[in-house]
Structure 1
Amino acid sequence: MGLFKSRLQSKDIKDTTYGLSDPGLLSLLGIDSATINSDKLGEIVFFTCLQTLSNSVSKLPIYLYSYNAIKGKERIIDNNLNYILNIEPNEYMSASTFWSCVELNRNFYGNCYVYVNRDNKGNINFLWILDTENVTVWRDSAGLFGQQNAMWYVWYDKNNSGKKYLFSADEILHYKTAITWDGIIGMAVKDILSQQIDTQKYGEGYINNLYKNNMFGDKILLQYTGDLGTKAKDTLVKETEKYCNSNGTRFLPIPATIEAKTLSMKLSEAEFSTINNTNALRIAAAFGLNPNTINDYSKSSYANSVSQQTDFYVNTLSPILNMYKQENTRKLLLFKDKMNGNFLEHYTKEIFKLDPTAQMDYLTKGVNNMIIRPNEAREELGYSWADNGDTLIGNGNLVTLDNIISGKTNTQPSNDTNIDNNSNDDGGEQNNNEK
């Protein structure tokens, strides 16, 4: 990656020093640390939670907005910034993949670090995701780098001879979880719930072993006195299986000296399903996800599902998007733009996609009640803007707001319509009288 060659410091760290409690040392000795490794993604509940959050964030575009006392909130078109954030953050991945990867790292490791590459004018060229496990955060309390208490990010490039790169806080987008002791480093859910996730993993392994060893269903236990040779045992098992698998008989002929008993394997007796489901709900709740997310519909209905979807947005996704909004605004925008009231925000209407009929009814009511402009409604439907479509209209007869204020009741049709309307303020009454 040539763009990092001009960084401040480089250092060969092949001869690394480990502490006794360093996870790296434990890994070298073959000892699993307290944290959960990447292979634990195989736990289905944990994976489902990560996938749901990653997909929910990556599907939402990020737009530039401005807020002022006259016009309120207004979207600003910035083609370069829009291309970086929503199309191609860097030459190796699309925006959807990029933000999905960012959210995955944030949830799995508790932190995600993105390097912002700019040109000499301050324009953004690329966004690069750094390997979270190889980034450390320094606070320069002594002012060794010229600024006291400044934050610095040190990245060890393990793919480039272990070189070390130093970044200032303004060059790094630091996305973290809401759980943090110092406000700088976020905590990963997998580290907090390591026992619950491991328990869930062991439960899946237990089920897999039952399937593998064919232990589901009733088994026949043959009890006899004495000792049978290997050949006799194989013959007994073979003949027993022959009659058990036969559909034409319900009887099992056995010698008089052998007693047959039924061995049942029921998970319900051990309350395995109850314990497993409870543990799964705890993991989902730690991520802020509802039971429907992990396919638990035991106490669900249509109304309850809609309520859970709304609750997911309000209580789970909304705080995450607010974190992205604040970090993106403070690190990606120039100081003068921030002082002018500009900010970056996710477009959340993608979450509440409606069916065509409901969407049309929703937009029609918005236009008729002078809440949104016709062009705004057309944009929601995927249509191009129409001439004279940036005026608020409504009051039942599609009267423009300007005419309502001035006392007029009739409006001229827009240029893109073919309706011949001859009723003006004066001429309309004369034509009606002549008729």
Structure 2
Amino acid sequence: MGIWKRIKNAAKELSRPTVSLEEKELLEWLGITPSNKKAVAEVTYFTCLKMLSETIGKLPLKYYQQTERGRIRAPTTEAGVLMTIRPNPFMTPTTMWTAVEQNCQHYGNGYIWMRTKFIPSTYGGEYHFLDMWPMQSNYVTPIMDDLGLFGNAGNIYYKYSDPRTGKQYMFRNSEVMHFKTWYSFDGFTGMPVRDILRATVDGASESQDYMNRLYKQGLTASMAMQYVGDLEDKKREALQKKFADLLSSPKNAGKVIPVPTSLTLTPLNMSLVDAQFFELRKYSALQIAGAFGIKPNQINNYEKSSYANSETQQLAFLVDTMSYRLKMYEEEINGKVLLPQEITDEYFYKFNEKAILRTDSKTQMENLAKAVNNGIYKPNEARDYLDLPAEKGGDILMVNGNYIPITDVGKQYEKGGGESGSN
């Protein structure tokens, strides 16, 4: 076979129409049933997504410095203003962090683009933060440049495809804060829970659809219509539609209708109790919540909960679930936002997790009073915790005058050590 004939044959093969793997008919022929339902439509999945996203959004981000005296609050910086006051003209920090965590949980990865500007100076110049923007994770593609196509080999870049304009942008690793879920074998990108529990989430969605259909038809069962003789298709369909309109929908619930003597209607649906529908639905909800690290009381399951137990579960949620998320966020923020000199001077950002552990007013006052009386808090620090202004003389630690150092215990009984030891 000559070279030209081979080229013609190759061109002919390439010109043949191809079948897309996204076509519904092909997927069904292969035994694959595509799911067009959104996981967010499932109430348990939505609740878990809401709980995690709002928890990140409600925690205030603080800027500290580690000194010889311990950790102290540090004056805010350009980046600190963006992350705690206004990241961009259209968002609040709460909105930004909530959107990032929602993208992270739903798509497996969350991204924030940090727009900077280089300002030259006599000694070379420095970068200044202008604003911060969360990026839609389904339009971001992380790229590992192993060949050095964009510069030095081994660097990471992020390609963003703008869904509105269709333009593509390439950002350096230092320009993007990348947050991910714990499920990552390469440590580079994370996987969402919905992909891991796709069957469970789809099953829960189907059970929700089933309940919706029952409500729409007035909680009445499907029926078999038995009649004598043979009817034409049009007459049978008309008869079927007549009784369907009379029996279905909530407005017809409990309605009595006349049925001809030659016609019999027999319910066909299986009882929800016999099918253990609600038990299976509850079990699926607990499975989805457990995969997210959400406690039963947070999805309104209070069967084995009391008030005290719910408070303990909230603490367990912070320790078991959010502590990992917060540590991951803090490490990425400190690694991407802090300047080299700030790292040298031991500055760092930290979320205040105590915001989700607030107790009732009585318990709060008792705890603050104990902390002040035992020299843990200064009075003004306790007042600041209650959003009250500082007062003069409130910046000193106070303790009970009857207390003595543990190293001095027993000295009062020694000779000359006190009244009980004197002659």
Q: Which TM-score band (shorter chain)?
A: 0.7 to 0.9
Alignment of 1:8-407 (within 5 A): 26=22, 39-68=38-67, 70-78=68-76, 80-120=78-118, 121-160=126-165, 162-216=166-220, 245=255, 266-395=271-400
Task: Please tell me whether the aligned partners of residues 34 and 191 of structure 1 are also in contact (alpha carbons under 8 angstroms).
Answer: no
SS of equivalent residue, structure 2 residue 82? helix
**Structure 1 residues 139 and 265, CA gap change in structure 2 (3 angstroms):** closer
State the match for 1:415 in structure 2. none
State the distance in 1 between where 2:162 and 2:136 align: 8
SS of equivalent residue, structure 1 residue 106? helix
State the distance in 1 between where 2:209 and 2:49 align: 21
Q: CA deviation at 1:193?
A: 0.9
Deviations along 1:9-66, whole A, 9 cap, x unmatched? Answer: xxxxxxxxxxx999xx738999799997783311111100000001111011101111
Question: Over the residues paired in the alignment, what is the CA RMSD in angstroms?
Answer: 3.7
State the distance in 2 between where 1:128 and 1:29 align: 40
Task: Please tell me whether the aligned partners of residues 315 and 357 of structure 2 are also in contact (alpha carbons under 8 angstroms).
Answer: no
Q: Number of aligned pairs?
A: 368
Counterpart amino acid of 1:55?
E
State the distance in 1 between where 2:37 and 2:343 align: 39
SS of equivalent residue, structure 1 residue 26? coil
Q: CA deviation at 1:282?
A: 0.6
SS of equivalent residue, structure 2 residue 342? helix
State the match for 2:9 in structure 1. none
Task: Please tell me whether the aligned partners of residues 372 and 378 of structure 2 are also in contact (alpha carbons under 8 angstroms).
Answer: yes
Q: CA deviation at 1:266?
A: 2.3
Counterpart amino acid of 2:104?
R
State the distance in 2 between where 1:27 and 1:182 align: 31
SS of equivalent residue, structure 2 residue 83? helix
Structure 1 moving runs of 4+ over 4 Å: 27-38, 219-235, 252-265
SS of equivalent residue, structure 1 residue 123? strand
State the match for 1:424 in structure 2. none
Deviations along 1:98-149, whole A, 9 cap, x unmatched? Answer: 1110110000000011111123233322111122122111222233333231
Q: CA deviation at 1:210?
A: 1.4
**Structure 1 residues 27 and 292, CA gap change in structure 2 (3 angstroms):** farther
Deviations along 1:366-392, whole A, 9 cap, x unmatched? Answer: 011001111110100101122232211
Q: CA deviation at 1:275?
A: 1.3
SS of equivalent residue, structure 1 residue 394? coil
Task: Please tell me whether the aligned partners of residues 36 and 191 of structure 1 are also in contact (alpha carbons under 8 angstroms).
Answer: no
State the distance in 1 between where 2:34 and 2:198 align: 7
Task: Please tell me whether the aligned partners of residues 113 and 130 of structure 1 are also in contact (alpha carbons under 8 angstroms).
Answer: yes
State the distance in 1 between where 2:268 and 2:111 align: 56
Task: Please tell me whether the aligned partners of residues 35 and 194 of structure 1 are also in contact (alpha carbons under 8 angstroms).
Answer: no
Task: Please tell me whether the aligned partners of residues 141 and 150 of structure 1 are also in contact (alpha carbons under 8 angstroms).
Answer: yes
SS of equivalent residue, structure 2 residue 38? helix
SS of equivalent residue, structure 2 residue 274? helix
**Structure 1 residues 185 and 221, CA gap change in structure 2 (3 angstroms):** closer
State the distance in 2 between where 1:357 and 1:89 align: 37
**Structure 1 residues 136 and 301, CA gap change in structure 2 (3 angstroms):** same
Task: Please tell me whether the aligned partners of residues 27 and 34 of structure 2 are also in contact (alpha carbons under 8 angstroms).
Answer: no
Q: CA deviation at 1:306?
A: 1.7
TM-score (norm 1): 0.74
State the distance in 2 between where 1:118 and 1:388 align: 44
State the distance in 1 between where 2:138 and 2:228 align: 62
**Structure 1 residues 232 and 148, CA gap change in structure 2 (3 angstroms):** closer
State the distance in 2 between where 1:220 and 1:27 align: 35
State the distance in 1 between where 2:269 and 2:95 align: 48
Task: Please tell me whether the aligned partners of residues 50 and 104 of structure 1 are also in contact (alpha carbons under 8 angstroms).
Answer: yes
Q: CA deviation at 1:150?
A: 1.3
**Structure 1 residues 93 and 35, CA gap change in structure 2 (3 angstroms):** farther
SS of equivalent residue, structure 1 residue 48? helix
State the distance in 1 between where 2:23 and 2:206 align: 22
Counterpart amino acid of 2:66?
Y
**Structure 1 residues 370 and 21, CA gap change in structure 2 (3 angstroms):** farther
**Structure 1 residues 170 and 271, CA gap change in structure 2 (3 angstroms):** same
State the distance in 1 between where 2:264 and 2:153 align: 84
Task: Please tell me whether the aligned partners of residues 373 and 390 of structure 1 are also in contact (alpha carbons under 8 angstroms).
Answer: yes
**Structure 1 residues 332 and 136, CA gap change in structure 2 (3 angstroms):** same
State the distance in 1 between where 2:359 and 2:51 align: 20
Alignment identity in percent?
35
Q: CA deviation at 1:259?
A: 7.5
Task: Please tell me whether the aligned partners of residues 105 and 112 of structure 1 are also in contact (alpha carbons under 8 angstroms).
Answer: yes
Task: Please tell me whether the aligned partners of residues 216 and 265 of structure 1 are also in contact (alpha carbons under 8 angstroms).
Answer: no
State the match for 2:15 in structure 1. none
